[in-house]
Structure 1
């Protein structure tokens, strides 16, 4: 038995945690027992006060014969100074005699003893009370100083029941059976007290007033000795007793919502801390109950909005919490150092909760001073005096260990690419994505300490390859926004994965999908109605659509619909968007769109369509101009950004910047511009009184800035806002729109939305195609690829679209598609080829000649044919 274990065992059926007072029988004079020089081994735990501090006490060595023990009552008195007094007296002694003895021992005058929430009469004998072994009585100067009698009564009863269960026969332990129900009842008392406190006058102005009442109840739980008694029962040799104590203690664990109301949860910190302290030394760090209490403590601390009484001092709280945070940090780092690098998700969550709380308190501690310069925490003499220095030491050790882990990953990266397949490699790296969670906490800490911020950047820069592999294969994680600061270290695939995390995943169950039935002849109008009238959550669940009078359904039909809708929506006939003069696939907002009375609703529709296309990962062949991209990203627009959208205006402005003073004066420009809409012309001031302000060599930069802003922002602000709102509707968190675009460059968005506009690589096409009924060397297959190679690029796209509903390939070519392509052999030799676009299947008849093969493929690669579906 370890010393930590022995410290909570009851020696010789009496506690040795406090001053030991012998109360002689009434036949003998009262006399104080002299203090012993040695304190008990568990005095610090048993005499823990409400403030969490430990007070040592001496004990007397009293011995008695068996017969004397039978006539003696052993009990404890909890004094007003939160110290516990061990006493033994004759059974026929009265409460008055006990009080007289305590008064004579210096504990004050006009004393009262409380047990079970009621004052004990002075003439009552100890025998009449029938106190359970090792009972705790509470000393008070007046009865009214003992508030919440119900809590005192229940807390004392829990402690007594646990103590009685420990002394009973291991096979019965009847006193322990209802311990968890008693603890739940105590928690409900605190819950009712908190709700009752809401009616107090001060509750409206001070929300802590209601929290104080619940906290007072939980403090009574500690003062009554219930926590210590439950832990002692948990240390029992009896498995029955251990299980009862385990269930009772777990009532305070946040994972049991049936026993712990949320409004009480936030003030359970003192109780959880007490359980963690007691269990830590008694049962060790690997005990499941201890780990559950520690994890719950981390969760409560992370979610709390204010420090619960009596822990109003952040430093006092963190001094107690820091050792537990250090424990779980070591568990995580040991896992990363292992061969498998496996870390438990529950341990990872606990680690994150502890360090989120520590970082929050650290930011409060440093105030608005920003990063703490290195010279502040280089003073060795201060390192052990303040928790902020100890947190820095822990952070430095964490960063060092993560650096070593990333070095190992860098070595594994080169081996994995050679020895295992792509899918298997992705699975392995996805299983290591917990390293990103550790890096996330290090990033939070880097916003406190200057040297941690500097060293973290160096570590990430030195290990770009494993960092990219981790991000590229990471599963959905909403806490990786900090990586925008290191976007330059990430490859396109990693950035793409990060933005896809910010888009909904959709649902596989058709019952959760937003269903649409579209008539091809009214494609845009009906699509507009379905999308604009839908609620945001309905669209985030995914889409399921059919074309009227057609049997085809599934992802292939949805891909076709996206391409057709975008083709119609961005057509110049709609007057919503204008193509860039030098890049007809790139569009910016048309400031004359007001000719359509529904134009603002259509811009909301367009924003939703773009967001949905990204969510469903469909390349629609349409890309946005830089001015529109920058607006979505919340960035300002400069002259250089309009070069593609309006090359004429761009060239004119550049020329003005190159002119001398005389040339500018001869232009007779003012801070205004002309605007032509609906056949009328008007003058728009770029600033108040702009028509009266001449442009000269001194203010030409300001003029150009205002001209660009007015043309590409102010004049189309309503359209921009509706388009932005529509796009944001699709994001998981609409408030994260700027972070979404922070991860991307315009070129990245082009790849995600527009796909590849390069020539199709037929060899890549062939290498990603498999056959059913044919073999690769069959003459029909040889003819097929020969016909495809002879097609112009647009015809190849139409054939690919007919086959897969994909017209524009992902940036990484056919390898970026969700599946291989398939050519199936059909029975008929005369029919046209057909397709199942959902499964990327082309059903190709075994044509008898090359010419017939070419003729039939030419027919299906026409635009009006490839926009509908063949049949089997």
Structure 2
């Protein structure tokens, strides 16, 4: 049988193809089951001759017709025709096979119509009465389907792909088809997703049409084409499934495409390998989609999906192992991210398998147990492999650091920081298996020293916060760095929240600026200015924080009570709940404390243990209240230690009640139902003490703490992490962050955290500066430090290494006053001396705004001496060296404005 073509080349519309359920059943019998995702790439042949068309004529067949060769035509839907040469004894199926070789349309989808009837495949042309020069109509199998539109669009897509593969390179018709594939893919997605009313089952059924019709295999075949344009067209069409688009693939529906992306991954890895960029893109998208939640796979079970995930994870762990074994220990971010996302997908699948969340017991991954699963066992082996590898890398990094010294490893530390990301992946891995968490904890303890070095320098990344659960591994500097990552980071490009506040109305006006606005407006920078004052900048902002916290926690206000033996330590006042406005102020106080931590300002107040523990979500015991109420603590201890006989005699007359005095009236409340009738004795005294403590320090201030916690959580990246924030710290950690260290400020420590701009540490001017500081009393040093930084105590944010960005910066600017008018010079000198002396003794500047303190942001310090500048004469007596000291933290200096003495 010979086949010729006549007319123009077939267009995309010439080959619509529809698959029936019967066809897929036949494919399964042929070893091409859909669940195996095995879509053989069709081999195409180019048409050998032009297409033609001629009218149909028909007459009954005779015996003589069997000996004559036939030439007839097969008309395609678009009007073109194929010329067929065959013998009358050839079957209709044989004709269909030859049409498939020319058009690429699978034979099972073809139907030949002659004189209004479908020709049966096992009939011969003679039996079908096919004569010379007659025309047969080629159609596609049309079975009943719930998704006719999807089938039609996919059929058009496949026809376009077939045409691009068979058409001659450079032909005009081929050029016209370049955009057709992309448009048809987008049309299919739009019809599938946007018109489905968000019905998950309907979406899944429609998307499955894409796979059933063999569209992924056709696109991959086009991608493998030696014609560059074909490969680019296919890659573009496949990438449509990799990125959401509001016009045809909304982000909230992207997850439904996971099954199609998985099919692309399997086909690409089998045809082009795992290093292909398109495959890597499909793999990353699949991992990202599956992380979002349980996959909407109707045609794959969790067991089969787990097997697929295990293959991807094995691939990525292998890549990680190779990268970590290299000299640099550098691992691709894509590998880390994909591995983490696939592991989250495994969590979803295993949860579906077990029906509940939690660890996989040894029954699943230990070969010695009867419920052992190969895929789960393989995943456990991969966990152990990655855990051991990252442990070896941490040890190798520590050895290099010990050999070279920390200062010479700064560049390598940047690369080694990736080990923290690998450990985060190991943490996700460990959450799968019973006992894996203990193995990870042992590794962290063993490599504690190197981990703390890396974590102190870690950049902002919420994925590292899981280290906070291991307090026995981390030190204070690490915990402080990690919890601050949970707060917003004020950036210079952020819009500033501007405040203009009257000092005499500090608390109410600050409440309006902070407590009555949307919290997101405060996540950027703050610009603070006091009315009728020129000073602005970070120094003024720090002063405002300190003054505001002093006002909020002032014992004369009804919000907080100080501890009797430590007036810097506060807890909520139970009586403050009587006024609803007071509760609003607790919300405001929570915001202020969060802002102070966010801007790294120490406000000089700390929390009592009962306050801190409840913010952390922990329970309160008798020992926790010893600072808040020493009298109650001693009384409860005496009851617990009292002689049983004496207590049982009811000599104390105690019942399960408590007397409360509020607003001048005294009331009695029961600690439990019927408490007034329950006498305290030796058998129930522990219960009595527990209920009394709970009522005094939990029940009575629960609403205040809830409001404070709400205000604080307004500044967390995840408001649900409020308890985790406080639970990640010890009370001593929070004291240092909020109130600073209560130790003596040493000049040595000050020098270690000072950076010189334009000077060296041994310059004469620098030596003079430190000589003055060393000669100050401890109180004078506190005043000087507070003047520049609003910090009067040892600074908890002073770094442990020279690379810490929170170093203090001292800019020393020198001026030699060259004035020939001696009287004028003497008057100026006296004014400068007065200002400098006032600052050093804590009186503030006598010029400028007259307030002094950190609001000035700068001061002029006079150092006696002599200076020779080039050709200038030596100035003695009336001559002087003017040093302006400006110390600032973070981005800016201590502010502008304020004292201007020493400048004319």
1:214 is the counterpart of 2:203: yes
Change (3 A) 1:656 1:486: same
* Cα gap change, 1:538 to 1:102, in 2 (>3 Å): same
Q: Secondary structure, in 3 states, of the residue corresponding to 1:820? A: strand
2:163 is aligned to: 164
The residue that corresponds to 2:64 in the other structure is none
Q: Distance in 1 between matches of 2:664 and 2:114?
A: 95
Partner of 1:389: 377
Q: Deviation at 1:430?
A: 4.6
The answer for the alignment partner of 1:807 in structure 2 is 792
Q: Say whether the 8 Å CA contact 1:524–1:565 is kept in structure 2.
A: yes
Alignment correspondent of 1:759: 744
Hey, what's the Cα distance between the residues in 2 that align with 1:89 and 1:147?
A: 36
Distance 1:338 1:482 in 2: 27
2:586 matched residue in structure 1: 603
Alignment CA distance shift 1:464-1:224 (3 Å): same
Task: Look up the SS of the partner of 2:659 in the other structure.
Answer: strand
What residue is the counterpart of 1:362 in the other structure?
350
Alpha-carbon contact 1:760-1:796 (below 8 Å) kept: yes
Aligned pairs for 1:798-837 within 5 A = 798-811=783-796, 813=798, 817-825=806-814, 827=817, 829-830=829-830, 831=832, 832-833=835-836
The number of aligned residues is 777
Matched with 1:557 is: 540
1:319-468 counterparts in 2 under 5 A? 319-368=307-356, 370-374=358-362, 376-379=364-367, 386-415=374-403, 417-420=405-408, 425=410, 428-468=412-452
Q: Which residue does 1:31 correspond to in 2?
A: none
Aligned to 1:845: 862
Match in the other structure for 1:691: 676
d(CA) in 2 for partners of 1:547, 1:601: 24
Match of 1:671 in 2: 656
Q: How far apart are residue 58 of structure 1 and its match?
A: 14
Distance 2:659 2:374 in 1: 66
Give the direction of change, closer, same or farther, for the CA distance of 1:708–1:220 in structure 2 (3 Å limit). same
Instruction: Describe the shift of the 1:117–1:265 C-alpha distance in structure 2 as closer, same or farther (beyond 3 A).
Output: farther
Q: Please, which runs of 5 or more residues in structure 1 have no aligned partner?
A: 1-11, 14-42, 76-87, 104-111, 132-136, 199-206
Q: Mean Cα displacement is larger for which, 732-741 or 50-59? A: 50-59
Q: Name the residue aligned to 1:659.
A: 642
2:475 maps to 1:476: no
1:234-279, Cα deviation, whole Å (9 max, x unpaired): 1122222221221122111136676633355222223222221221
Q: 1:118 to 1:814 in 2, by over 3 A?
A: farther
1:750 aligned partner: 735
Instruction: Measure, in 2, the Cα distance between the counterparts of 1:350 and 1:630.
Output: 38
Deviation at 1:324, TM superposition (A): 2.3
- Distance (Å, rounded) in 2 between the aligned partners of 1:593 and 1:376: 56
Tell me the distance in 1 between the aligned counterparts of 2:808 and 2:29: 63
Larger helix proportion of the pair: 1
**Which residue number corresponds to residue 551 of structure 2?**
568
Report SS of the residue matched to 2:463. coil
- Report whether the alignment pairs 1:98 with 2:92: yes
1:276 to 265, 274, 281: 265
- In the alignment, the residues of structure 2 paired with residue 73 and residue 288 of structure 1 have an alpha-carbon distance, to the nearest angstrom, of 48
1:539-564 alpha-carbon deviations (Å, 9 max, x no partner)? 22232211122222222221111111
Distance 1:475 1:350, change over 3 A: same
C-alpha displacement of 1:54: 4.2
Once the two structures are TM-superposed, the CA of residue 773 in structure 1 deviates from its matched residue by: 8.8
Aligned equivalent of 2:296, options 288, 292, 307: 307
- Alpha carbons of structure 1 residues 175 and 762: separation in structure 2 relative to 1, 3 Å: same
| Distance in 2 between residues matched to 1:443 and 1:419, nearest whole Å | 30
Indicate if the aligned counterparts of 2:621 and 2:690 stay in contact, CA closer than 8 A: yes
CA distance in 2, matches of 1:118, 1:214: 34
Q: 1:727 to 1:867 in 2, by over 3 A?
A: farther
Query: 1:718 and 2:678 equivalent?
Result: no
Matched, 1:228 2:217: yes
Equivalence for 1:318: 306
2:860 partner SS: strand
Hey, what's the Cα distance between the residues in 2 that align with 1:155 and 1:627?
66
Structure 2 SS opposite 1:490? coil
Scaled by the length of structure 2, the TM-score of the pair is 0.76
Residue 618 of structure 1 aligns with which residue?
A: 601
Secondary structure, counterpart of 2:395 in structure 1: helix
Q: 1:407 to 1:764 in 2, by over 3 A?
A: closer
Instruction: Give me the whole-angstrom Cα distance separating, in 1, the residues matched to 2:111 and 2:458.
Output: 56
Task: Tell me: higher relative CO, structure 1 or 2? Use CA pairs within 8 A at least 6 residues apart.
Answer: 2
Distance of aligned partners of 1:839 and 1:51 in 2 relative to their CA distance in 1, 3 Å threshold: farther
The SS at the match of 2:569 is: strand
Partner SS state of residue 341, structure 1 = coil
Mark the structure with the bigger radius of gyration: 2
Aligned position for 1:261: 250
Separation in structure 1 between the aligned mates of residue 459 and residue 136 of structure 2, nearest angstrom: 63
Q: Tell me how far 1:391 sits from its aligned partner.
A: 1.8
- Given that 1:49 and 1:223 are in contact with CA atoms closer than 8 Å, whether structure 2 keeps it comes out as no
Shift of 1:704: 0.7
1:485–1:473 Cα change, 3 Å: same
The alignment partner of 2:594 has SS state of helix
Residue among 503, 507, 518 paired with 2:487: 503
TM-fit CA distance, 1:606 = 1.1
- TM-score (normalizing by structure 1): 0.79
- The answer as to 2:275 corresponding to 1:286 is yes
**1:704 aligned to 2:689?**
yes
**Residues 154 and 182 in structure 1, CA contact (< 8 A), matched pair in contact too:** no
Alignment match, 2:67: none
